[in-house]
Structure 1
Amino acid sequence: MDRMYKLLLVEDDNALGYLLSEYLGMKGFAVSWAKNAEEGVQKTKTNVFDLAILDVMLPDMDGFELSQKIKSINPELPFIFLTAKSLKIDVLKGFSLGAVDYLKKPIDEEELVVRINALLARLVADKVEEPHVSQYIIGDYLLNMDNFELNYKGESIKLTAKEFDLLALLAKNKNQLCTHKEILTTVWDKNDYFNKKSLNVFVSHLRKHLGKDPRLSIVNVSRRGFMLRESEV
């Protein structure tokens, strides 16, 4: 496994939830275990996952309804259903809602891992690999993606890792809005109140770094996000 994939597990059975989260953790996955649907929704709002594993029979709402709530938050997040139901109609309903797999209880942990690895490998292969960009030209500045430097007319400007990642995201989407959620999940890997407060501080730092070119500004789009704007002279 090239990197640690992040899994959301929503399972109300304490024994099974503990067993699966521990076993998947031993197999190299980062597992976030939610014990009910509402907790699963909240975790989806504040974390970035590669795959969700949803129990169909939950105390507060069924897994089918939960999957649709999760899709409204993150339409790209694939999910697997776990269920004790064996009726064909339930299986078909799961797939019709967009499930990438459907496992019946009792769960074979080894089979689950094999299926997860196969699904993740397929999903990664399906994604079109973005071409490597070695630099971004931002007005009179040059953001070098290979040596992680910001240069102004040959002068090197030192950035922290977070400053660099934030500026790279804004530069990639120059003159386009980057939402708070997109920024926080990309740069901080978590969308929450504390990181949102930190974001404002980092934006302030970047404004100072870019202050030598009056054409450049980082615009705060009220309650939505930020935009790196390069205006005409």
Structure 2
Amino acid sequence: MIMGKTKILYVEDEPNLGQIVYDSLLLKGFETIWEKDGAKVMSKFHGYSPDICVLDIMLPNVDGYQLCEHIRSKYPNLPIIFLTAKTETPDLVKGFEAGGTDYMRKPFSIEELVIRINNQIKIHGSNKSGVNKTIEREELQEIKIGTYTYTPNRYELVTPTKTINLSNREGELLKQLTEMGSKVVERKDILLQVWGDDSFFNSRNLDVYIKKLRNYFSEDENIEIQTLRGRGYLFLVK
């Protein structure tokens, strides 16, 4: 079956940079919509259904962090790349906490952006018709984790009080932690399996995701993600 082009929703208010990136993405074969105003982005999802979002942080009316949180609440598995001139580590961490899945500092090369877009699509999949619908035909496996129930095929975590839709990367991280039982999961192994490399950038990203999982499991005091400094993690169900 012939698949369509990867669909990108690109958000950048600086006109010169935006035009360059927009034209370059089209030349590289991507289907792309370019929006300059953060407040108008959500309306673009109607009838377009992008495979990935590429967001600037400093946007008029609604900044990239707020926009990312809004997108993530409605589309939990959609990859989101931040493009920003902000270079401080707290800004990077804030981006991942908002729901970003990758982060590029300005200035950047189009070649690197294309590589990162393709990598995110490879990790998270796409919204192409039929690609994600096959899950409905698959046998759904439920895993009991204390008082929680996790369905890996749906990335669905049912807590005692609510249902949480995990992102693809959250699901892959949880898989790495739970498959080892009571054995130590090496930090480097997680980074290589889930992120593809063990760079400092991805290492900080892992810290954010571990914090998210701990928060998700906070309703059951018998579930603990224990950090072994300098080594990795233990996922314990007492």
- For residues 5 and 100 of structure 1, the distance between their equivalents in structure 2, rounded to whole angstroms, comes to 17
Matching residue of 2:24: 23
- For residues 36 and 17 of structure 2, the distance between their equivalents in structure 1, rounded to whole angstroms, comes to 11
Tell me, what secondary structure is at the counterpart of 1:49? coil
- Give me the TM-score of the superposition, normalised by structure 1: 0.52
Matching residue of 2:54: 53
Change (3 A) 1:92 1:22: same
- For residues 127 and 87 of structure 1, the distance between their equivalents in structure 2, rounded to whole angstroms, comes to 36
Amino acid at match of 1:69: H
- State whether residues 79 and 120 of structure 2, in contact with CA within 8 Å, keep that contact through their aligned partners in structure 1: no
- Per-residue displacement from partner, 1:105-126 (whole Å, max 9, x unpaired)? 0121110001111111122299
Amino acid at match of 2:4: R
Find runs of 4+ consecutive structure 1 residues off by over 3 angstroms. Answer: 125-133
Matching residue of 2:15: 14
Amino acid at match of 1:82: L
Matching residue of 1:79: 80
Amino acid at match of 2:78: L
Amino acid at match of 2:37: N
- For residues 116 and 96 of structure 2, the distance between their equivalents in structure 1, rounded to whole angstroms, comes to 15
- For residues 123 and 101 of structure 1, the distance between their equivalents in structure 2, rounded to whole angstroms, comes to 12
Matching residue of 2:95: 94
- 1:3, CA displacement in angstroms? 3.1
Tell me, what secondary structure is at the counterpart of 2:104? strand
- State whether residues 54 and 83 of structure 2, in contact with CA within 8 Å, keep that contact through their aligned partners in structure 1: yes
Where structure 1 has 5 or more consecutive residues not aligned to the other structure, the ranges are 134-233
- State whether residues 54 and 80 of structure 1, in contact with CA within 8 Å, keep that contact through their aligned partners in structure 2: yes
Change (3 A) 1:104 1:53: same
- 1:73, CA displacement in angstroms? 3.2
- For residues 74 and 85 of structure 2, the distance between their equivalents in structure 1, rounded to whole angstroms, comes to 27
- State whether residues 55 and 81 of structure 2, in contact with CA within 8 Å, keep that contact through their aligned partners in structure 1: yes
For 1:135-150, list aligned pairs within 5 A.
Answer: none
Matching residue of 1:65: 66
Matching residue of 1:3: 4
- For residues 68 and 44 of structure 1, the distance between their equivalents in structure 2, rounded to whole angstroms, comes to 15
CA RMSD of aligned residues (A): 2.5
- Per-residue displacement from partner, 1:63-110 (whole Å, max 9, x unpaired)? 000111222332332211110000000001111222110000012111
- Give me the TM-score of the superposition, normalised by structure 2: 0.51
Identity percentage of aligned residues = 38
Tell me, what secondary structure is at the counterpart of 1:42? helix
Change (3 A) 1:130 1:61: closer
Count of equivalent residues: 133
- For residues 130 and 42 of structure 1, the distance between their equivalents in structure 2, rounded to whole angstroms, comes to 27
Where structure 2 has 5 or more consecutive residues not aligned to the other structure, the ranges are 139-238
- State whether residues 44 and 74 of structure 1, in contact with CA within 8 Å, keep that contact through their aligned partners in structure 2: no
Matching residue of 1:120: 121
